[in-house]
Amino acid sequence: MIRGSSRTSGSSDAAALRHPAWLAALVLYALVATSDFAYHMIEDLRTENQTIEVSEVAVAFSAALFWPVDLIAMALLAIR
């Protein structure tokens, strides 16, 4: 292809527009995961011995990593 032709510039514009959408989605996922991790840590501090153990950090991390499933599970358990 010839540099500067319409086919070359058109394809690079479409790729440039998709990059910010993925980045925004990744940042949003990370923000919600961070807040879910903080929520689980705060809840662990409010219960029983008010200390954070290694097992509680592992549970909070896995819940934050899979926060969509965690939010659904918390909602279903709240109904019971």
Distance, in Å, from the CA atom of 76 to the CA atom of 33, rounded to the nearest integer, reads 19
Give the residue extent of every domain in the chain.
Answer: 6-79
Tell which wins on pLDDT, 9 or 28: 28
Record the tokens describing residue 73, joined without a space: 């599970």
pLDDT score of 13: 60
pLDDT score of 45: 86
Tell which wins on pLDDT, 4 or 80: 80
Q: How confident is the model at residue 22 (pLDDT cuts 50, 70, 90)?
A: confident
Which residue pairs, CB below 8 angstroms and at least 24 apart, start in 23-28?
none
pTM: 0.68
Per-residue model confidence as pLDDT tens digits over 35-60: 999 999 998 888 777 788 888 899 99
